[in-house]
Copies of this chain bind each other. A is one copy, B any other.
Amino acid sequence: MPDVRLLEAFPTPSATPFVIEHVSDEFTSVCPKTGHPDFGEVVLRYQPAPAGTPAGERGCVELKSLKLYYQSFRNEGIFYEAVTNRIRDDLAGMLKPAWLQIITKWRGRGGIRSVIRADHGPVPAHYLGV
């Protein structure tokens, strides 16, 4: 079951804005309609809250905890769109970033490949084109 409590954070190491991108290509969940597994890639991009602010104390997601959080979707029945929105909400809620973006890319099912993109806050224009 997806569990946001698995996520851990560490302090942003700089007050100068910078951008972090983590790409996991080993995401899997279950289609609630057919019961078959879905496989995809999750792209997380964000500008962490800067060092020297309260949010910056917990501004960056710890990599291993992110992996465990993603793994908690393994046997969950959930649609593409809901996965994407949920991950965006969970991470944005915890990290309080300047902005954050989740893109999920799903392998073909019935000959159709899908990409879902959900943004939080003022994502810069150059990251909008998937």
Given contacts A26-B39, A74-B37, A112-B24, contact A128 B126 (CB under 8 A): yes
Contact residue among B13, B107, B130 (Cβ-Cβ distance under 8 Å from A81): B13
Contacts of A24 in B (CB 8 A): 111-113
What are 29 A-B interface contacts by the 8 Å CB criterion?
Answer: A13-B81, A13-B82, A14-B81, A16-B88, A16-B119, A18-B85, A18-B118, A19-B130, A20-B81, A20-B114, A21-B114, A21-B117, A21-B130, A22-B114, A23-B115, A24-B112, A25-B107, A26-B37, A26-B39, A26-B111, A28-B28, A36-B110, A37-B71, A67-B112, A107-B111, A125-B125, A126-B128, A126-B129, A129-B129
